[in-house]
Amino acid sequence: MKRVLLAAAAVMLVGGVHAENRVAEERVDLSMTGRIRQEAFTHSQVMPLLTHLTEQIGPRLTNSPAMAQANAWTRSKFNEWGLANVHDEAMLEPFGRGWEFRRASVEMLSPRAFPLHALPKAWTPGTNGPVEGDAFAAKLESKADLEKFKGKLKGKIVFIAEARAYKPGEKADWHRETDETLDAMKSLTVPADQTDEAREEARDKRRKRIEFTPLLNQFLIDEGAVAAVSPSGWDNGILLVSGGGSRKAGESVGVPSLAMSAEHYNNVMRALDRKETVRLRVNVDANFTSDANQPAYNTLAEIPGTGPHRNEVVIIGAHMDSWHAGTGAADNGAGVAVMMEAMRILKAVGAKPDRTIRIALWTGEEQGLLGSADYVSRHFGKFPDPTDPQEKAMPLSLRKVKGTLQPARDYGNVAAYFNLDNGGGKIRGVYAQENMAVAPIFETWLKPFNDVGATIVTQRNTGSTDHVSFDNIGLPGFQFVQDDLDYFTNVHHSDLDVLDHIVPEDLKQASAIVASFAYNAAMRSEKLPRKALSEN
Amino acid sequence: MKRVLLAAAAVMLVGGVHAENRVAEERVDLSMTGRIRQEAFTHSQVMPLLTHLTEQIGPRLTNSPAMAQANAWTRSKFNEWGLANVHDEAMLEPFGRGWEFRRASVEMLSPRAFPLHALPKAWTPGTNGPVEGDAFAAKLESKADLEKFKGKLKGKIVFIAEARAYKPGEKADWHRETDETLDAMKSLTVPADQTDEAREEARDKRRKRIEFTPLLNQFLIDEGAVAAVSPSGWDNGILLVSGGGSRKAGESVGVPSLAMSAEHYNNVMRALDRKETVRLRVNVDANFTSDANQPAYNTLAEIPGTGPHRNEVVIIGAHMDSWHAGTGAADNGAGVAVMMEAMRILKAVGAKPDRTIRIALWTGEEQGLLGSADYVSRHFGKFPDPTDPQEKAMPLSLRKVKGTLQPARDYGNVAAYFNLDNGGGKIRGVYAQENMAVAPIFETWLKPFNDVGATIVTQRNTGSTDHVSFDNIGLPGFQFVQDDLDYFTNVHHSDLDVLDHIVPEDLKQASAIVASFAYNAAMRSEKLPRKALSEN
């Protein structure tokens, strides 16, 4: 025992010198860090976990049967590892219906016969076997467009957007941050004022989209269109596909709708420009898995705290839902596998944290951070819901009045939230979200991982993932800085979001850092400092 | 008349100062060059030509119905433009059978259902409707492999190669040459001796491939395999597909065979590694278009010479056949459209060349420069055919003894051959193929195109396309240096070889240069100098 105590004393890393005087010196247990690194680097389970999640379970559209399988499998792994309080928590507001697809093919039959590369949008109906129709170009983006094409779409397969020219790939698809780019990331641009006009424009755009989508869906049905096709958002034949139709029971789901490779979409559009008759056959086997709206589920589990702060919680999380074109390997199987692995590592090294360490695998992130927002609102606090339904449909960032925070019981008990959701690249640092006081803490925590490439703390904010649900209500929620690899060039929401584009070593590195951050946050004398809450 | 003569005199560009003394000064008619540029840049037809060839006719596998359509359509255009001697010329040796496909789909049915991205290899049979089987991994690359898997493949869909890991795209997919890379291209590495061992190894490898392919085809049939699948040669879901089976009547065509996106191929292979049962459904609608071997056809047309050298010929050419995954836009629709456009331009500007200018649109290039080799051997000359059939099957470069050239009647009448077949990128210069004496001539000819990026003459050889058929027998055949764009990264032989990856301005530039080169070669006092013939 004595030997261990001495060793622990010897390896205490003392930091925090940059922090203001009231902040206690930051200590890192390097002995524990070493055990975490060893477990993460040499006994890693992160790739088997990710493989099971993405290839044996598959892509995990929110409320799909595969997502339910993922909830069940992650619970079983957590139980196997001896975690506590393993459970799914249903979101308060029913998410909608589940949807899944099994096959999809589009064939050009004439003027020449060849297969077109396309996948269905989620929450759009299948075709009930092969259906045929002539392609018809009709940009449908406004009510005026609907008027313009009224009565013209019967039996047509409607190409609802304009052709999009190939954009030459003059930069490498795949890249890591360099010392220079990391250094640049440390600078912050003081944000310009958002004018009322700009905000109103954004609100208006959102409002129009909310209003237009059901009109378009119903219009295509009323017209008797056979199917609708849009171009993929990526070039080079890559299929970027997300949702269409509607997940809400009782709303119009429109006609079978697909995203097609830009190259094939443009080929059809050019033929239509030449006034050729383009005959297509579409066959989509897809279905909604219930008639009624169902809740969506977050999966949670804990390593209970054993110290004086055991009622406080450090949460690590990642969204488990994905889109359906690939297998959701980088978005966000990687985050899920890393968070799971971090919990496994902490158990394997025999961590006995002061605070409770909780893992949260969110649902509905791809539909607007829904799972984490629901969880945070019920457990930690929320801004009052607007009474105006139009206002309620606005995301928090676009609401006119946020109001005054209504903290829930455990608002004071959240020590930290750490999220991973920027693809499969290794961790290069952390976004401090303009929380000045955490910077020296994180710098100290990152020091033992400088040698594996994690070096920077930036005051920059990053958004679009679940730490925002915490940050919104003033809780210390953070997302790591990661190497992009090919996430934002090829992989994001596309059919290339599969295991092949994952770098196993990167996920091992990330697992070690997350486990260490969770442990440090669970062991330090105070919860992480909070920044001032932005209310209005 | 006088004004024109004066003008012509004023614009004569005098070059050739670097050439040896016996070479006459090189003159370029800048007035004609200006007319050519104007026609090419401001009245271009190159994109309509390419669009018709690739999207209205489609990909043009040698001896496919689409290739026959392309022969007919190009003849009709040549007649429309008033070219002479418009005709198809059949290759002496029957090429084989035609083949075409209309649809192809592969679905994973279990353990989870989703569509896999794959296209059939040319000259492999269709499935006659959907067929199902379990995937089975069996690397089949040697006779020993066939022995190893004998009796194990009945009813299987055989994955005949190993999985191939994703190679991160750390360089840009799309690039142009820079001043630096062009400058570097001017240096030549003195070739190392090819050892007898190296040559024998290459011969052996080729021999084994020739011997193994029919064995593999027949083995898969004898075993009762349902289909065979290989991974695409490109990453990122791109399908690089060429031929399989056999085009020769009477030879085994094997079982339905497809190339699958590497990401999907690897997914199946990993499932098989985990001992999962992977059930697939394959549906390929493909057929051979004849039972007997048929000849393949080159298409030819001329602007007859009107001067004292009218019996001599300047040939410009490009192969019209393509692979079938895309539409053969860069390989080599671009070359065909540029060569056609060059002829149209020469007619449009009223060129009255001294020598005859001939356009040759080759067939069978993708199967080994067959169309051009046949044409050259019958019209200009050849090395004697070996009597040993094994030796005859070897390409010229691997034959032990080339023998002594047997010139045909018109061997002496070829003034120059110019080829374009390195994708859709603009011309940056020309490969002189170690023909020292042409360098100063080409430098002079390129001068009026320096301003549009065509600047270098390199002594380097380039191979793998139809100018080799001329160069092999000592005729002055040349291929232009072109910007790569994304030709050698994504497009070559893949489903991305489509119009979207073409840059129209580049083809306009190339059309002007080719027209000008053809005109200069047809007008100069002498035929282009020839280099010493390599015989052994």
B170 touches chain A (CB under 8 A): yes
Q: What's the sign of the alpha-carbon dihedral B88, B93, B94, B99?
A: negative
pLDDT at A12 > cutoff 60:
no
Q: Which residue, A502, A499, A362, A319, is CA-closest to A426?
A: A502
Tens digits of residue pLDDT in A52-67? 999 999 999 999 999 9
Residue A56 sits in the same domain as residue A197: no
Query: Across the interface, do B172 and A170 touch by the CB < 8 Å criterion?
Result: yes
Q: How far apart are CA A285 and CA A192, in angstroms?
A: 48
pLDDT at B536: 58
Q: How far is B438 from chain A (nearest CA, A)?
A: 35
Residue B500 sits in the same domain as residue B436: yes
pLDDT at B534: 73
**What's the domain range around B234?**
99-181+190-288
Is residue A196 assigned to a domain? yes
Of B113, B115, B266, the CB nearest to A105: B115
A 63-82: CB under 8 A from B: 66
Q: Which residue, A282, A254, A242, A296, is CA-closest to A122?
A: A242
Last residue of a domain, one of B228, B253, B288: B288
Query: Across the interface, do A66 and B104 touch by the CB < 8 Å criterion?
Result: no
Q: How many residues does chain B have?
A: 536
pLDDT at A297: 98
A172 touches chain B (CB under 8 A): yes
Tens digits of residue pLDDT in B258-312? 999 999 999 999 999 999 999 999 999 999 999 999 999 999 999 999 999 999 9
Identify from B67, B178, B263 which residue to disrupt to test chain A contact, counting A C-beta atoms within 10 A and taking the largest count.
B263
Q: How far is B185 from chain A (nearest CA, A)?
A: 21
Residue B485 sits in the same domain as residue B423: yes
Is residue B532 assigned to a domain? no
pLDDT at B329 > cutoff 70:
yes
* Mean pLDDT computed over B395-421: 91
Q: How many residues does chain A have?
A: 536
Positions of E strands within A84-210: 84-90, 99-110, 114-116, 118-120, 131-137, 156-159
Last residue of a domain, one of B288, B323, B343: B288
Residue A227 sits in the same domain as residue A344: no
Q: What is the CATH number of the domain that holds A105?
A: 3.50.30.30
Is residue B530 assigned to a domain? no
Locate tokens 């090819």: which residue? B194
Q: How far apart are CA A68 and CA A62, in angstroms?
A: 9
A424 touches chain B (CB under 8 A): no
Q: Which residue, B531, B397, B527, B520, is CA-closest to B468?
A: B397
**Worst-scoring range by mean pLDDT, A333-342, B335-344, B381-390?**
B381-390
Query: Across the interface, do A169 and B168 touch by the CB < 8 Å criterion?
Result: no
Q: Which residues of B touch A174 (CB under 8 A)?
A: 168-170
B 327-366: CB under 8 A from A: 327
Q: How far apart are CA B231 and CA B260, in angstroms?
A: 5
A399 touches chain B (CB under 8 A): no
Nearest chain B residue (CA) to A324: B114
Question: Strands B227-231 and B156-159, how do they pair?
Answer: parallel
Q: Which residue, A232, A15, A24, A207, is CA-closest to A121?
A: A232
Q: How far is A433 from chain B (nearest CA, A)?
A: 30
Tens digits of residue pLDDT in B470-519? 999 999 999 999 999 999 999 999 999 999 999 999 999 999 999 999 99
Contact A256, A127 (CB under 8 A): yes
Query: Across the interface, do A172 and B175 touch by the CB < 8 Å criterion?
Result: no
Q: How far apart are CA B295 and CA B143, in angstroms?
A: 32
Confidence of residue A5 (pLDDT cuts 50, 70, 90): very low
Q: Which residues of A touch B170 (CB under 8 A)?
A: 172, 174-175
B48 touches chain A (CB under 8 A): no
Residue B47 sits in the same domain as residue B10: yes
Q: For chain A, how many structural domains are there in total? A: 2
B225 touches chain A (CB under 8 A): no
Residue A234 sits in the same domain as residue A172: yes
Q: What share of chain B is helix, strand, coil (3-state, %, to 5)?
A: 35, 20, 40
Is residue B528 assigned to a domain? no
Tens digits of residue pLDDT in A100-157? 999 999 999 999 999 999 999 999 999 999 999 999 999 999 999 999 999 999 999 9
- Centroid of chain to Cα B372: 11
DSSP code string of A405-460? -EE-GGGGGEEEEEE--S-SPPEEEEE-TT-GGGHHHHHHHHGGGGGGT--EEE--
**Angle of CA points A57, A63, A67, to nearest 5°:** 20
Residue B367 sits in the same domain as residue B272: no
Residue A145 sits in the same domain as residue A252: yes
Is residue A420 assigned to a domain? yes
Tens digits of residue pLDDT in B135-175? 999 999 999 999 999 999 999 999 999 999 999 999 999 99
Give B294-359 as a 3 state SS string.
ECCEEEEEEECCCCCCCCCEEEEEEECCCCCCCCCHHHHHHHHHHHHHHHHHHHHCCCCCCCEEEE
Q: How far apart are CA B349 and CA B352, in angstroms?
A: 9
Residue A325 sits in the same domain as residue A203: no
Report which DSSP code applies to B528.
P
Residue ranges of alpha helices (H) inside A143-193 are 143-149, 179-185
Nearest chain A residue (CA) to B274: A56
B311 to each of B301, B326, B413, how far by Cα in Å? 15, 40, 7
B501 touches chain A (CB under 8 A): yes
- Centroid of chain to Cα B23: 33
* Mean pLDDT computed over A381-406: 85
A119 touches chain B (CB under 8 A): yes
Tens digits of residue pLDDT in A188-241? 999 888 788 888 898 899 899 989 999 999 999 999 999 999 999 999 999 999
Last residue of a domain, one of A288, A304, A324: A288
Residue B459 sits in the same domain as residue B321: yes
Residue B353 class from Cβ within 10 Å (0-12 exposed, 13-18 middle, 19+ buried)? Answer: buried
pLDDT at A18 > cutoff 70:
no
Q: How far apart are CA B42 and CA B40, in angstroms?
A: 6
Is residue B534 assigned to a domain? no
A113 touches chain B (CB under 8 A): yes
Contact A66, A59 (CB under 8 A): yes
Residue A486 sits in the same domain as residue A513: yes
Positions of E strands within A232-390: 257-260, 279-288, 297-303, 313-319, 356-362, 381-382
A129 touches chain B (CB under 8 A): no
Contact B250, B280 (CB under 8 A): no
Q: Which residue, A185, A462, A421, is CA-closest to A321?
A: A421
Q: What is the CATH number of the domain that holds A489?
A: 3.40.630.10
B168 touches chain A (CB under 8 A): yes
Query: Across the interface, do A267 and B498 touch by the CB < 8 Å criterion?
Result: yes
Nearest chain A residue (CA) to B51: A270
Q: How far apart are CA A230 and CA A242, in angstroms?
A: 11
Q: How far is A106 from chain B (nearest CA, A)?
A: 9
Confidence of residue A20 (pLDDT cuts 50, 70, 90): very low
A55 touches chain B (CB under 8 A): yes
Of B171, B173, B237, the CB nearest to A496: B237
A436 to each of A19, A192, A458, A531, how far by Cα in Å? 9, 20, 10, 8
B362 strand-pairing partners: B319
B 266-285: CB under 8 A from A: 266-267, 270-271, 274, 276, 285
pLDDT at A172 > cutoff 60:
yes
Is residue B43 assigned to a domain? yes
Of all helices (H) and strands (E), which one includes residue B204?
helix B196-223
pLDDT at A8 > cutoff 50:
no
A211 strand-pairing partners: none
A287 touches chain B (CB under 8 A): no
Of B102, B111, B174, the CB nearest to A56: B111
Residues 6+ apart with CB under 8 A from A425: A176, A482, A483, A484, A485, A487, A503, A506
ω into B448 cis (within 30 of 0): no
pLDDT at A535: 64
Percent of chain A with pLDDT over 90: 86
pLDDT at B2: 36
**B279-288, strands of its sheet edge to edge:** B114-116, B99-110, B279-288, B131-137, B156-159, B227-231, B257-260, B118-120
pLDDT at B1 > cutoff 50:
no
Half-sphere exposure of A211 (CA within 13 A, CB side): 11
ipTM for the complex shown? 0.93
Residue A60 sits in the same domain as residue A121: no
Tens digits of residue pLDDT in A257-306? 999 999 999 999 999 999 999 999 999 999 999 999 999 999 999 999 99
Tens digits of residue pLDDT in B72-117? 999 999 999 999 999 999 999 999 999 999 999 999 999 999 999 9
A490 touches chain B (CB under 8 A): yes
Tens digits of residue pLDDT in A75-101? 999 999 999 999 999 999 999 999 999
CB B137: neighbour CB atoms within 10 A? 19
Is residue B363 assigned to a domain? yes
Task: State the Rg of chain B over Cα.
Answer: 25
* Mean pLDDT computed over B208-215: 93
